[in-house]
Amino acid sequence: MSKSKVTLQVVSSGILREEVLMLGEAIVKQWKIPVNQPLTLRFGSFKHRVSVVPIPRFDGLRMNHVLARSMGLLSGHSLRIVYKPSSQTLCLGPLIGVLISRDRPDTPDKPFGQITMFCKELVDACRSQGALVCFFTPEQIQDLHIVQAWVFANGSWQKTNTPVPDVINNRLTSRKLENKPSVQHFMKEVKSRYQSHIFNEKFLDKTEVFDALQHDAELARYLPESHLLRNFTMLKSMCSRYNTVFLKPARGSLGKGIVRITRMQDSGYQAMYSTINGTKRQQYTSLLKLFSSLSSKMKNNRYQIQQGLTLIDHGKRPVDFRALVQKNATGKWTITSIVARIASTQHFVSNLARGGSLSTVKEAVNKANLPSNTKSDVHVRLKKAALDIARGVDTHIPAHFGELGIDLAVDSSGRVWLLEVNSKPSKNDNTPLNDNKIRPSVRKIVEYSRFLSGF
């Protein structure tokens, strides 16, 4: 199977009929593409019968404007071309789709709000690698053949109709949207009809992850004791074993709703609640009274109860680590970045959404209250833990993931622990502390999409 990149020229019907493609003669010879006989042209879910005419001293692809419009293509697009002799199919692509929660047509310069810069970065990464990316919301899924999507062309964001993409990156940030019957039906059908690949196809919740990983002996060593909080007996049992426990919404994110419970020396208990404005503290004379105060929260949310850890700190502010782990051009898990996150003085959680700040791993470890003989290899152990956990999620959870945000902690003895796994990692929260035009994290999305689609 030969591969190459071609630049598209769109021409009028007077020059070229809809069922004819003009392709550089050298490319035709190199690939042994049959000329002047019917072939199937494929772009995403789109298929059309064409014949190829070789053109001397030309290294691009010429196409009739009606055909190009029906594929959502414009002059100047650089795409990869693959010929599959077994099916006599000429494939253009890859067409990569990004499923996003919402768009803002009334602000055409920033149609995707805060992630617009990430989307433009993805456009640039696709252009350099010979791919085309489009962005669409659940409302823009027209049917199982066409997607009404945004593309970046001629210097601006434009809406157009595209075929169903070869690869879809699910960036929905709402479980409610992801679970809509129309979205679930679309994802199921395009996988079976067109063999489209969908990665990060579902949210993870904390209970699901810990339950899946704890049966793997290699991974269990990273897991603090953790259970779905079902009743008072479980809370009492955990609080008898650990001075501090954490309650985390099983489906929470950004540090919302976390409760830290600490057993006090006077036999009472203190609960610390993470709120937008800082940490709220409440004292209880008994654990039963504390549990009663949580009952209203537990009616609406499932909580995971987790062993408290004595984390390393930075000036008495807790430190944890976010590893961005992504599949690469050969489909293997790799570390893209690991950054330290330091809690603000008003919070006990380190999320940037709660005022946390970023640091390099080296700087955070050097300033941490760790034995000096454990500092040198913390970075190596964090990398190993993140890769082990990513592979474990792949093995034990039946869904397709291409990137994961893995939150890790290091305790005061230097041991690495898993805090949680995020299947929709923020494109700001995990930014490496440098300023490249196209971040490695964005390049890898395109590389993995090419791997999945065979381009």
State how far the Cα of 220 lies from the Cα of 122, in Å rounded to an integer.
36
Q: How confident is the model at residue 254 (pLDDT cuts 50, 70, 90)?
A: low
What's the pLDDT tens digit per position in 1-33?
Answer: 456 889 999 999 888 999 999 999 989 998 899
Same structural domain, 36 and 88: yes
Handedness of CA 136, 139, 140, 141 (dihedral sign): positive
Residue 200 has pLDDT above 80, yes or no: yes
State how far the Cα of 396 lies from the Cα of 34, in Å rounded to an integer.
45
What's the pLDDT tens digit per position in 331-340?
Answer: 999 999 999 9
Query: What pLDDT does 433 receive?
Result: 42
Residue 70 has pLDDT above 50, yes or no: yes
Same structural domain, 106 and 183: yes
Query: Into how many domains does the chain fold?
Result: 4
Residue 317 covered by a domain? yes
Alpha carbon separation from 53 to 22, 42, 89, 443 (Å, rounded): 5, 17, 15, 34
Same structural domain, 363 and 403: yes
Same structural domain, 104 and 144: yes
Alpha carbon separation from 410 to 102, 318, 354, 356 (Å, rounded): 37, 10, 20, 17
Same structural domain, 194 and 234: no
Residue with tokens 């035009």: 437
Q: How confident is the model at residue 298 (pLDDT cuts 50, 70, 90)?
A: confident
State how far the Cα of 453 lies from the Cα of 165, in Å rounded to an integer.
10
Cβ-contact 100, 141 below 8 angstroms: no
Same structural domain, 252 and 350: no
Structural domain span for residue 118 = 95-199
Q: What is the pTM of this model?
A: 0.91
Q: How confident is the model at residue 440 (pLDDT cuts 50, 70, 90)?
A: very high
- Cα–Cα nearest to 204, from 9, 398, 19: 398
Residue 152 has pLDDT above 90, yes or no: yes
State mean pLDDT over 219-236. 94
State how far the Cα of 48 lies from the Cα of 81, in Å rounded to an integer.
15
Query: What pLDDT does 3 receive?
Result: 60
Same structural domain, 248 and 295: yes
Query: What pLDDT does 294 receive?
Result: 84
Percent of the chain clearing pLDDT 90 (strictly above): 67
Residue 429 covered by a domain? no
Residue that terminates a domain, selected from 93, 109, 128: 93
What type of residue is 131? A
Residue 430 covered by a domain? no
The SS3 of residue 380 is helix
Residue 436 covered by a domain? no
What is the overall mean pLDDT for the chain?
Answer: 89
**Cα 227 from chain centre:** 26
Q: Where are the alpha helices (DSSP H) in 243-377?
A: 287-300, 361-366, 372-375
Same structural domain, 345 and 418: yes
State how far the Cα of 82 lies from the Cα of 453, in Å rounded to an integer.
11
Q: How confident is the model at residue 143 (pLDDT cuts 50, 70, 90)?
A: confident
Query: What pLDDT does 317 receive?
Result: 81
Residue 14 DSSP one-character state: T
Check which CATH number belongs to the domain holding 324 and give it.
3.30.470.20
Check which CATH number belongs to the domain holding 80 and give it.
2.40.40.20
Residue 372 covered by a domain? yes
Residue 428 has pLDDT above 60, yes or no: no
- Cα–Cα nearest to 159, from 177, 126, 182, 136: 136
Residue that terminates a domain, selected from 164, 199, 234: 199
Check which CATH number belongs to the domain holding 122 and give it.
3.40.50
Same structural domain, 326 and 413: yes
